[in-house]
Chain A
Amino acid sequence: MTALPFEARRDQVHRKGDGTFRLACNRESLAGAVSQRACVFCGARVVLYPVADALHLVHGPVGCAAYTWDIRGALSSGPQLHRLSFSTDLREREVIFGGEEKLYRALTELIGRHRPAGAFVYSTCVVGLIGDDLGAVCKRVAAEQGIPVIPVRSEGFQGTKRAGYAAACEALFRLVGTGPTDGISPVSVNILGDFNLAGELWIVRGYLERMGVEVVANLTGDGRVAHIARCHGAALNLVQCSGATLALARRMEEAYGVPFRRVSYFGVDDMAEALYAVGDHFADRDPGLPGRARELVREELSILEPRLRSIRADLEGRRVAIYVGGAFKAFSLVKAFRLLGMRTVIVGSQTGTAEDYRELHEITDPGTVIVDDTNPLELSALLLEQGADLLVGGVKERPIAYKLGIGFCDHNHERKLPLAGFEGMLRFAEEVHRTVTSPVWRFAPRRAGSREVCHA
């Protein structure tokens, strides 16, 4: 393997076939390496953000709220409150004398102004250090205003983004179980770990409803406080996205006996598997359900397959690099690219676990590089070494690909195309096709074999 820029990260990069597989992960990012990861606050913020009728107040200096203003394309079918950026905008005065009073006044003012169904109050680095008692302020405001006001322990430095997922799950769990469960069908699910980016959750929800399954709550895409409060009445939790909501599903299983299944809605195989899993789960209560699931899949595939075939002809043999936030999405992407005839040559994530990486190792081809918490220097070296034609990632990865003359697909918060479900797979294939087959690459110096564009 090419010499990598950081010796200290050697055990976070592995090429399948080079000795026994072991990948270090879930550790703090290496200082100075320009990690693509954000922080605990980010993890909590992205998970809770799509709850559309809640007030999301960031208790801290203005930056944390400003950089996450409307950051995710998480769509709501009703209220749009989640798209506003609320901050206590702490100043020197509060850092010295404490920010509890300001927080109390901010919550009171904003709840009065927007009448939200609930409020999440995010803690940031400064708040963790000055020791404001978020819990006490939230409790007081909740009592005065008569809505749930939930503190989120998301001080940026208290771990990695994964710790933020845990903080979000903790906050959601406080809401779960507080609402009435009457009238919920015995054939019912909650959708956990889908954030309705570009309307993806609506696609999945549509499939389930076509099959005759009631969806009690979405956590958190197009989420509502009241739905989450009663979601312990659902018969099954469908959990997508490895880190973000799995902890919540486990807590709900312990506390309320709601079982869960891990699913993914990306790619044909995984989408079909998810629907079959629901069908099988409820087969005793609704014997027709497995059949309806198969029928739905058949129908969707008959539309999809001929169109995928023509796209595949152009993409066959191309080489893909995948670098995403959570590893779970990477599993689906590897499979989806296989369906398109493309080969995954690099796959990595910001927050994968040892279990995630073992599974990635299993499903990839020999020679594939598996990487945890990479950085621009390392990723670019790997992209060139592995001869990637396409990088799948987020906004921060995009310019790395483009500067090197490599195609790019956004599969992160800011995507504007719904990529979930069968129709999402087609859209994804079209998106891959658009970038990989563009004529512009022939002008990129690396592909053209010329160095003339080098900077003067």
Chain B
Amino acid sequence: MPESAAPAFVSTTNACHLCMPLGACLAFKGVEGTVPFLHGSQGCATYMRRYLISHYREPVAIASSSLGERQAVFGGGPNLRQGLWNVITAMRPRVIGVATTCLTETIGEEPGPLVEAFLAELAGKNPGVTLPRVVTVRTPSFGGTHTEGFRRAVRALLKALARPGPAGSHLNLLPGMASPADLRHLKDVVRAFGLEAAVIPDPSDPLDGPIWDAYTPVPPGGTPPEALQAAGRARATVALGCMAGDASGPGAWLRDRFGVELLPLPLPVGLRASDRFFAVLEELSGRPTPGWVRAQRGRLVDAYVDAHKYLAGVRAAVVADEDLAVGLSGFLAEIGVHVAYVATGDRSGSLEGAVDAATAGLLREPPAVREEVDYYTVAEETRDLGLGLVVGTSKAYPLARDWGIPLVRVGFPIHDRFGAARQRVLGYAGTQDLFDRVVNALLAQQQEASAVGYGYL
């Protein structure tokens, strides 16, 4: 489409996507000692904090350069410097992740040079003091969705921190926007293969931490900056998600810059996708899948069989970020649910092919696959599909409520249920959790709708 062509849509009602800086903040939260910092108006930081806090139920500090009218006209440099200085002195971070916003992108302010000049000045005035690394990333809301912002921030972190050197035996694992519990599980299974892998980024502890005895400005945990430094010397990068192999993604950047082999894989949701993931770990480690993981697989297949009749013939819609939408489609198809509709707010162009691949050989007819949609469109297009189940974020609740069908909440955000950080969908173990939730949602629906109220189902 030529640049000046009219857009295909003119408005969005109940968006399925969020803005780029939110994704960037989430990625920054996954690096040890990092404070996310938005260069823009105060509101962006506060809104995103509220959004993340409602999901994770954890304090989420996101600093802002708090630009006002004067700065919008004369430039935000002085506020950026003052803001960085306040974060450095009050929070003592190891890294500050600066993301731009609509405001600073529209006035054309590039934060990189401003930050470099400020740090050089500080270093001159404070010899001997260790200053944090400041990583900058360009993330205007109008330029992409939160998942794109996440990828850009991961790439920016690697570009800023990764260093060349002799190749090691360690791996990089780029999991995308996974839940803290999924990240913990991924780390466990990788370790069980005897592999040393840096999960980049890893917000599992910063976004799902224990109670404190004193206020902790920068919660502990996350990928150590040293591991990012070493990422350029890794033996291979295992990247998850349907954009994992994208030429502008972080994995491709490591490959192109340092020659680190890139192994892109779909998100391991469901049996088949998990099998592929574990096959790669077997290959990389030269070891068979550990017994306890094989046992998880065995129990998962056993559960698939035990519950298959509860699921047969159920028609489902999936509404999620693209990586997860693909994973969920493959999973639902392999348990006998008819995936009728798959939608995402993302717009990478990769969804349809990825869903086809994930559901290959399992569906009698392919689902309708929609990118860049909003919930209004989803509601319009699913009205007559005879759906019995929705799997997606809690923003799909109004739709499920209107249709009178259960919603199994997965992904981000989940604002109306407890324990989002502890939810798993990855690997055999995560798939088992998800499978039980799907089956039970359907059983509960059946039980509540029944006049008899059977006690055995």
Using a CB–CB distance below 8 Å, which chain A residues touch chain B? Answer: 5-6, 8, 28-42, 57, 60-69, 84-95, 97, 102, 105-106, 109-110, 124-126, 128-130, 156-160, 376-377, 380-381, 384, 395-396, 398-400, 402-405, 444-446, 450-451, 453-455
Choose among B13, B66, B106 the residue that contacts A35 (Cβ–Cβ < 8 A).
B66
Cβ-based interface call for B275 (8 A) = no
Q: Are the C-beta atoms of B13 and A63 separated by less than 8 Å?
A: no
Instruction: Determine which of A34, A95, A402, A445 lies in contact with B63 in the assembled complex, contact meaning CB atoms within 8 Å.
Output: A34
Which 9 residue pairs across A and B have the least CB separation, nearest first?
Answer: A39-B43, A32-B86, A31-B83, A32-B83, A63-B19, A380-B215, A61-B141, A106-B11, A67-B47
The answer to whether A377 and B215 touch (CB under 8 A), given A39-B43, A455-B220, is yes
Are the CB atoms of B66 and A31 closer together than 8 Å?
Answer: yes
Q: Do the beta carbons of A399 and B69 come within 8 Å of each other?
A: no
Write the nearest CB–CB distance from B250 to chain A, whole angstroms: 22
In the complex, chain B residues whose CB is within 8 Å of the CB of A130: 106
Q: In the complex the two chains form, is A91's CB within 8 Å of B142's CB? A: yes
List residues of chain A with CB within 8 A of the CB of B11.
57, 86-89, 102, 105-106, 109-110
Taking a contact as CB atoms under 8 Å apart, the answer to whether A67 and B51 are in contact is yes
Cβ-based interface call for B217 (8 A): yes
Name the B residues within 8 Å of A400 (CB-CB). 59, 215
Can you sample 29 A-B contacts with CB below 8 Å? A8-B86, A28-B42, A31-B83, A38-B43, A38-B47, A39-B46, A40-B43, A42-B46, A62-B17, A63-B19, A67-B47, A95-B102, A95-B106, A102-B11, A110-B11, A124-B102, A126-B106, A128-B72, A129-B72, A156-B41, A156-B42, A156-B103, A157-B69, A158-B68, A380-B215, A395-B54, A399-B57, A400-B59, A400-B215
Q: A30-B86, A67-B48, A404-B215 given. 12 additional CB < 8 A pairs?
A: A29-B64, A33-B63, A38-B43, A60-B102, A63-B19, A63-B21, A97-B4, A109-B11, A160-B42, A396-B50, A445-B211, A445-B212
**Range for the number of chain B residues in contact with chain A:** 35 or more
Flag if B66 contacts A451 (CB, 8 Å): no
What is the distance, in angstroms, from B425's C-beta to the closest C-beta of chain A? 23
Check B45 against A159 for contact (C-beta < 8 Å). Answer: no
| Closest-CB distance, A369 to chain B (whole angstroms) | 16
**Residues on A with beta carbons closer than 8 Å to the beta carbon of B205:** 455
CA distance A371 to B216 in the complex (A): 21
Partner of A404, one of B41, B140, B212: B212
Q: Which residues of B contact A90 (CB under 8 A)?
A: 142
Chain B minimum-CB-distance residue to A95: B142
Q: Are B221 and A398 in contact (CB under 8 A)?
A: no
Q: How far is the CB of A114 from chain B (nearest CB, A)?
A: 9
Q: Give CA–CA (A85, B69) in the complex, Å.
A: 27
One of A158, A402, A446 near B214 (C-beta < 8 A): A446
Tell me the bound Cα distance from A129 to B75 in angstroms. 13
Task: Report the minimum CB–CB distance from B214 to chain A (whole Å).
Answer: 7
Verify if B67 is at the interface (C-beta below 8 Å from A): yes
**Given A31-B65, A451-B213, A455-B221: A62 in contact with B53 (beta carbons within 8 A):** no
- Does the CB pair B13–A85 fall under 8 Å? yes
Are B211 and A93 neighbours in the complex by a CB distance under 8 Å?
Answer: no
B42 touches A39 (CB 8 A): yes
- Minimum CB–CB distance from B399 to chain A (whole Å) comes to 12
- Quick one: given A38-B46, A105-B10, A129-B107, are A405 and B211 in contact (CB under 8 Å)? yes
CB nearest to A379 among chain B residues: B215
Q: Is B434 engaged at the interface, CB distance under 8 Å to the other chain?
A: no
Question: A126: which B residues are within 8 A, CB to CB?
Answer: 102-103, 106, 142
| B residues less than 8 Å from A403 (CB atoms) | 58-59, 211-212, 215-216
Is A129 touching B86 in the complex (CB atoms < 8 A)? Answer: no
Cα distance A68–B47 in the bound complex, in angstroms: 8
Please, how many angstroms separate the alpha-carbon atoms of A63 and B48 in the complex?
9
Q: Is the CB of B67 within 8 A of A129?
A: no
In the complex, are the beta carbons of A36 and B46 less than 8 A apart?
A: yes
Complex Cα spacing A453 to B209, Å:
10
Contact B103 A157 (CB under 8 A): yes
Min C-beta distance of B65 to chain A, whole Å: 5
Decide if B18 touches A66 in the complex (CB within 8 Å).
Answer: yes
Which of B17, B54, B68, B91 sits near A159, CB closer than 8 Å? B68
Please, what's the 1-or-0 string for B211-236, where 1 marks a CB less than 8 Å from any CB in chain A? Answer: 11111110111000000000000000
